[in-house]
């Protein structure tokens, strides 16, 4: 259907109805169901509220043509079952972090974020301009899917710990909740990796089932009350320097839609990608201070020896990932080329400017 023709027709019908005293038809008389399943708890600041906002925006931006129904984890499928739901056609789209599917194919890890990976700015450059979207399309196509960038958390914290981390050996035997290739990296360091949706981390922490956990950053972590379960909050995170979330659609369903609707979905996802990063950056500093001042959280920095240990373990993971398949190898090579290219510029632009600005102004 041509949207402009549809709107002209709707306008003529509205005028005719007004002239005859009949009820006025709405633009949204023709409605296409769109079920969105999510991996984020309903109402969780940033991730949950962002997914709900995106769902509402899709209905709004299409003038109700898309009749969107949104489901948080457990309301229709589990947090880690959303890919299967969309791939099978039982839902039309999901909002999640694609590194959850790295067990299906390790290349999924690069779509969200990997150790020593890309910041949000670098990730946008990779996906939009340096071959990332094409590789993502190839990977997602194997599952009958089409993905769009739809949010970014920015650089994540290193996580919450019940023990101090002073040496790479301190990770040995640690029961650590962390997903993706970052989890594989910590497994190389001797940690016992536990996979849990965000909504189940707190209960496992409090019960003692896990010793450490990472999720996102101060804003999200504050509302999940991790400060009640752990004393030490480590930075900087290495595992997810710019975690990209996706709105991923069933490709057959998506391509059956009018072109203007497909474009509207892409635009709404892009809008969310920009808005979420700004929202988290606006709130993380505020809630970090609340964690420290109101709840006595101890902020700790990973030292250089620990970071060097991260580097050694991450390289082992990358070497194994590249051996998985031709696609995994090409994904890694494209990611690495993008990282080298963009970081070369940022290293003489943003990075030294921020350091010098903060030094001169005395900013923390």
Show Cβ contacts of residue 74 under 8 Å, excluding neighbours closer than 6 positions.
none
| Integer CA distances (angstroms), 198 to 48, 236, 363, in order | 10, 20, 32
**Sheet harboring 298-301: ordered strands across?**
192-194, 175-177, 212-213, 159-161, 232-235, 298-301
Mean pLDDT score, 106-114: 98
3 state SS of 190: coil
Q: What rounded mean pLDDT belongs to the chain?
A: 93
Taking alpha carbons only, the member of 57, 161, 147, 65 closest to residue 99 is 147
* Share above pLDDT 70 across residues of the chain, in percent, rounded to a whole number: 92
Q: What is the mean pLDDT of residues 331-336?
A: 98
pLDDT, mean of residues 174-202: 96
In the chain, list all ranges with CATH 3.40.190.10. 159-241+297-361
Question: What is the C-alpha separation between 334 and 331, in angstroms, rounded?
Answer: 5
3-state secondary structure (DSSP) of residue 30: coil
CB contact at 8 A, 96 and 245: yes
pLDDT exceeds cutoff 90 at 5: no
For 269-287, write each residue's pLDDT tens digit. 999 999 999 999 999 999 9
CA distance to 86, 91, 167, per residue, from 187 (Å): 30, 34, 15
- Whether the Cβ atoms of residue 242 and residue 119 lie closer than 8 Å to each other: yes
Of 70, 37, 65, which Cα lies nearest the Cα of 52? 70
- In the chain, CATH 3.40.190.170 sits at 26-152+243-281
pTM, two decimal places: 0.91
Q: If one looks up domain 159-241+297-361 in CATH, what number appears? A: 3.40.190.10
Residue 75, CB-side half-sphere exposure with 13 Å CA sphere: 14
Q: Read off the pLDDT band of 29 (50, 70, 90).
A: low
Dihedral-angle region of residue 12 (phi above 0 means left; psi in -120 to 50 means alpha; beta otherwise): alpha
Give the pLDDT of residue 14.
Answer: 35
CA distance 239 to 302: 13
Query: Which pLDDT tens digit goes with each residue over 16-27?
Result: 333 333 333 344
Question: Mean pLDDT across the stretch 213-233?
Answer: 96
Contact 243, 112 (CB under 8 A): yes
Pick from 252, 255, 261: which is nearest to 59 by CA? 261
User: Structurally, what CATH architecture does the domain formed by 26-152+243-281 represent?
Assistant: 3-Layer(aba) Sandwich (3.40)
Instruction: Return the closest-CA partner of residue 242 out of 342, 101, 106, 349.
Output: 342
């Amino acid at each position: 259907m041509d949207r402009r023709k549809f709107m002209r027709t709707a306008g003529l019908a509205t005028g005719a109805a007004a002239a005859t005293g009949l009820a006025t038809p709405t633009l949204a008389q023709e409605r296409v169901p769109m079920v969105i399943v999510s991996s984020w708890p309903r109402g969780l600041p940033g991730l949950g509220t962002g997914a709900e906002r995106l769902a509402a925006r899709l209905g709004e931006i299409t003038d109700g043509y898309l009749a969107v129904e949104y489901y948080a984890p457990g309301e229709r499928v589990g947090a880690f079952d959303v890919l299967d739901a969309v791939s099978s056609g039982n839902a039309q789209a999901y909002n999640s972090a694609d590194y959850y599917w790295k067990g299906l194919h390790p290349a999924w890890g690069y779509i969200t974020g990997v150790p020593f990976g890309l910041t949000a700015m670098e990730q946008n450059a990779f996906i939009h301009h340096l071959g990332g979207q094409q590789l993502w399309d190839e990977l997602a196509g194997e599952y009958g899917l089409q993905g769009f960038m739809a949010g970014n958390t920015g650089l994540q914290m290193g996580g919450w710990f019940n023990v101090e981390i002073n040496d790479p050996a301190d990770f040995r035997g640690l029961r650590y909740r962390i997903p993706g290739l970052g989890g594989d990296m910590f497994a190389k360091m001797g940690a016992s990796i536990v996979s849990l949706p965000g909504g189940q981390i707190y209960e496992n922490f409090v019960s003692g089932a896990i010793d450490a956990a990472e999720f996102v950053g101060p804003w999200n972590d504050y509302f999940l009350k991790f400060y009640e379960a752990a004393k030490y909050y480590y930075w900087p995170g290495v595992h997810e320097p710019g975690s990209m979330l996706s709105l991923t659609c069933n490709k057959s369903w998506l391509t059956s839609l009018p072109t203007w609707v497909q474009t509207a979905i892409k635009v709404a996802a892009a809008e969310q990608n920009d808005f979420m990063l700004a929202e988290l950056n606006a709130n993380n500093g505020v809630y970090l201070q609340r964690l420290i001042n109101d709840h006595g959280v101890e902020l700790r920095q990973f030292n250089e020896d620990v970071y060097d240990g991260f580097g050694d373990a991450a390289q082992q993971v990358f070497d194994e990932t590249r051996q998985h398949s031709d696609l995994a190898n090409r994904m890694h090579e494209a990611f690495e080329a993008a990282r080298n290219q963009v970081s070369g510029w940022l290293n003489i632009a943003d990075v030294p400017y921020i350091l010098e600005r903060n030094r001169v102004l005395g900013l923390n």
